[in-house]
Amino acid sequence: MADDEVTVPGATPVRPAGPHRDLAWGRWGDPADATPLPDALGPLLEQALGVRRPGAPVPPLDAARPAPSRLSATARRDLVAIVGDAHLRDDDASRARHARGRSTTDLLRVRAGDLADAPDAVVLPAGHDEVLAILRACAGHRVAVVPFGGGTSVVGGLTPDRDGFAAVVALDLRRMDALLDVDPTSRTATLEPGLRGPDAEALLAPHGLTIGHHPQSFLWATIGGFAAARSSGQASAGYGRFDEMVVRLRVATPTGTLDVGRAPRSAAGPDLRQLVLGSEGAFGVITAVTVAVRPAPAVRAYDGWRFPSFATGTDALRSLAQDGPTPTVLRLSDEAETALNLARPDEIGADGAGGCLAIVGHEGDAADVADRRARTADRLRALGGSPDPDAGPAWEHGRYRGPYLRDALLDAGALVETLETTAFWADLPALYAAVGDALRTTLTDLGTPPVVLTHVSHVYPTGASLYFTVGCAQADDPVAQWRAAKAAANAAILATGASISHHHGVGVDHRDALAEEIGPLGVAVLRATKAALDPDGILNPGVLVP
C-alpha cells in the first residue's frame, strides 16, 4: 500500500447485497428475533426480585415528536449541497432513531418518551471527502457532529453535550459500507466504517477470509464503531481485540485527513493508531479501517467445562492464558451466572448442575482444532475441570441473544444492565468482590435487591476482564436507580485500581471516571489532541474527553 492509497488502483469496492436494516425502535435488533420472556422467569422475577408491575412500554415510533430542529436553513443548505437532498433527513422518525444508543438507560428514556437527545438532522455521507466537507461546514456553523455507526453504544457515546452549539447532526455512516480492498499476501482488508459485522464477514467470505471479531453486538455494530470504541470480541483469546487487528486507519477531521499505519508495527514515534482507536468520534471520523484477516476457520467447536468454584475456574483460565494451549474463545461464569444461565434464556430458573461454567472454543482447520482441543481438554482436566457436553452448543446458540432478553425483562418491569472492567490477575478477586458488593449494597439500599451475575469474558497473560450482569425490580425512576448503582460500581472499580472499561468504551457515561483513571495529565493529553484535530470542538462534544 503506497502512501496515498487506501484502495488498490482499479479495485472495485464491493458492498453488501441487501438493503440497510434499522435497529428496532427503542429495542434491540430485529423485531422478528425478539425473545419472549421464558415462562419460568415470570414467577422468579416476582419472588426473587420483587418485580410487581410491568415496565413502561416503548411508545410507537410514529408518535415520536422531537423538539423542532434547530438546524439553520443555511447550515441545512450547505449540508444538502454536500450529500444531496436525499441524504439529509430531518423527519421526526429519523431524528428519534438517532437519539441514543442501546444502554438500558437509553432504552428506559425512550420508554419514558424522552427525546431530548434527538439530533436536529441526520446526514448520510457517501465517502471520506464528503465527511471532510461536512466537518468543515459544521465547524463553520458551530454544529456538533455525532458519528453514528451501528448505534449500539452502551455508554452514552451518541448523546453529546449540546451546550454552546447551534445544532447537532448525526453523521450516519451507513452508505460507507464497502469492502475497499483485500491484500491476500499481507492478509489485510480495508473496510469502510459503516459495514456491519456480518456484512463485512460476508464480503470477505468469497476470499476465504475472516476478521474473527464477534462481540455480542456483532450483528448490528459496525467496523468503524469497533475501531472507535476499542471493541473486543468473544473470540478475542484467538483472534485478539479489534484494536490489535487494526493496522491502518484513515480519519477525517475538521482540520484535514490523518492517515496512520504503514506497517504492522513501527518505531516511528508513538503509535498514533492507538490514539485513534478508542477516540470514539471525538478526534475525527474513521473513514477506512485496514485490518488483519485470516483464513476462515473450517471448524468451530465450543465446549462447556465445569469448575468447582469461580476461584479454581479463574486459575484454570489464567493457566491457559499464560502457558497455553490457547483456545479461540475462553470465558467463565461465576456460580450465580452459572445457576441463572443468561446464555440459555430457555433454561433460566432451572437448577444448575452447580459450580462454574466455562466456555472453551476452538476455531481453525480440522486437524488444528482437533489437536488444540485435545491438549486444552487434558490441561483443563488437570486443572480441576469436567466437561459439560450441552453447554458449548447452547452458548453458541445464545451468544448474540442477551440484548433481546433484556428487552423482554424491561417489558416485564425488571431493570437489567451490564457493565465490565479489567485488571491484572492479582487484583481480580478484589475487583470481583468490590464491584459485586457495590451493586448489591446500592440497589438493596434503594429497596431493590439485585441478582448480580459475573463472568470472566476476556483473558490475557497478565490479566482479564470481568463482565457483570445486574437484574432487579425497576424503581419508580429506573434511570436514577441505575445511575446510583453504576456510580457505586465505578467507584469500586477505580478504588481497586482497575480500568473503567474493557470493551464498552467511555462515552459520556464513563467520562468522569476516565478522568480519574488517567489523571490530570492524561486528560491534558486528550484535550490537547482534540484541540489539534478539532479546534472548534464540534466532534461528539462531551464524549470521551473530560
Enumerate residues 394-433 that contact its own copies by CB under 8 A.
422-427
Using alpha carbons, list the distances in angstroms from residue 464 to 81, 172, 318, 385, 400. Answer: 49, 33, 8, 19, 21
> Given the DSSP bridges, would you call strands 246-253 and 299-307 parallel, antiparallel or unpaired?
unpaired
As a dihedral over the C-alpha atoms of residue 13, residue 19, residue 23, residue 28, rounded to 10 degrees, the angle is -90
Look up residue 239 and give its amino acid.
Y
> Given the DSSP bridges, would you call strands 143-148 and 121-123 parallel, antiparallel or unpaired?
unpaired
Among 187, 207, 300, 397, binds its own copies (CB under 8 A): 187
Task: Please give the helix or strand (H or E) that residue 251 lies within, else none.
Answer: strand 246-253
Question: 3-state DSSP call for residue 181?
Answer: strand
Cell numbers 456484512 label which residue? 199
Q: Restricting to residues 428-467, which ones interact with its own copies according to CB under 8 A?
A: 458, 460-465
Of residues 293 and 415, the one with the C-beta less far from its own copies:
293
Q: Does residue 361 touch its own copies according to CB under 8 A?
A: no
Q: Does residue 1 touch its own copies according to CB under 8 A?
A: yes
Of residues 125 and 215, the one with the C-beta less far from its own copies:
215
Q: Does residue 514 touch its own copies according to CB under 8 A?
A: yes
Among 36, 42, 84, 264, binds its own copies (CB under 8 A): 264
Question: 3-state DSSP call for residue 267?
Answer: coil
Is 400 among the catalytic positions? no
Among 320, 330, 472, 500, binds its own copies (CB under 8 A): 500
Give the interface segment with its own copies, choosing from 45-53, 252-260, 303-311, 438-446 (CB under 8 A).
Answer: 252-260
Q: Does residue 363 touch its own copies according to CB under 8 A?
A: no
Of residues 298 and 532, the one with the C-beta less far from its own copies:
532
Q: Let me know: does 106 contact 506? Beta carbons within 8 Å.
A: no
CA dist 129 and 271 (Å) reads: 25
Of residues 280 and 407, the one with the C-beta less far from its own copies:
280
> Given the DSSP bridges, would you call strands 167-172 and 294-295 parallel, antiparallel or unpaired?
unpaired
Q: How far is the CB of 545 from its own copies (least distance, A)?
A: 8
Q: How many CA atoms lie within 13 A of 422 on its CB side?
A: 15
Q: How far is the CB of 427 from its own copies (least distance, A)?
A: 7
Q: Restricting to residues 3-42, which ones interact with its own copies according to CB under 8 A?
A: 3, 5
CA dist 450 and 441 (Å) reads: 9
| Interaction mask 190-229, its own copies, x per CB under 8 A | ---------------------------------------x
Q: Restricting to residues 271-330, which ones interact with its own copies according to CB under 8 A?
A: 271-280, 292, 294-295, 318, 322-323
Q: How far is the CB of 494 from its own copies (least distance, A)?
A: 7
Q: How far is the CB of 517 from its own copies (least distance, A)?
A: 6
Q: Does residue 502 touch its own copies according to CB under 8 A?
A: yes
Cell numbers 484467538 label which residue? 238
Q: Does residue 366 touch its own copies according to CB under 8 A?
A: no
Of residues 274 and 386, the one with the C-beta less far from its own copies:
274
Give the interface segment with its own copies, choosing from 130-138, 378-386, 481-489, 496-504 (CB under 8 A).
Answer: 496-504
Q: Does residue 233 touch its own copies according to CB under 8 A?
A: no
Q: Let me know: does 145 contact 132? Beta carbons within 8 Å.
A: no
Among 7, 72, 257, 309, binds its own copies (CB under 8 A): 257
Q: Let me know: does 173 contact 150? Beta carbons within 8 Å.
A: no
How many residues touch its own copies under the rule CB under 8 A: the total is 93
Q: Restricting to residues 70-129, which ones interact with its own copies according to CB under 8 A?
A: none
Look up residue 147 and give its amino acid.
P
Give the interface segment with its own copies, choosing from 35-43, 251-259, 301-309, 482-490 (CB under 8 A).
Answer: 251-259
Q: Does residue 181 touch its own copies according to CB under 8 A?
A: no
CA dist 181 and 266 (Å) reads: 22
229 CB contacts (<8 Å, ≥6 apart)? 153, 157, 278, 280, 503, 504, 505
CA dist 100 and 22 (Å) reads: 13
Among 31, 36, 206, 266, binds its own copies (CB under 8 A): 266
Q: How far is the CB of 424 from its own copies (least distance, A)?
A: 4
C-alpha cell read off for 432 = 470481583
Q: Does residue 533 touch its own copies according to CB under 8 A?
A: yes
Q: Let me know: does 453 contact 416? Beta carbons within 8 Å.
A: no
CA dist 510 and 483 (Å) reads: 11
Among 104, 231, 376, 418, binds its own copies (CB under 8 A): 231
Cell numbers 448442575 label which residue? 353
Q: How far is the CB of 272 from its own copies (least distance, A)?
A: 6
CA dist 140 and 134 (Å) reads: 10
Give the interface segment with its own copies, choosing from 120-128, 194-202, 352-360, 517-525 (CB under 8 A).
Answer: 517-525
- Known catalytic residues? 467
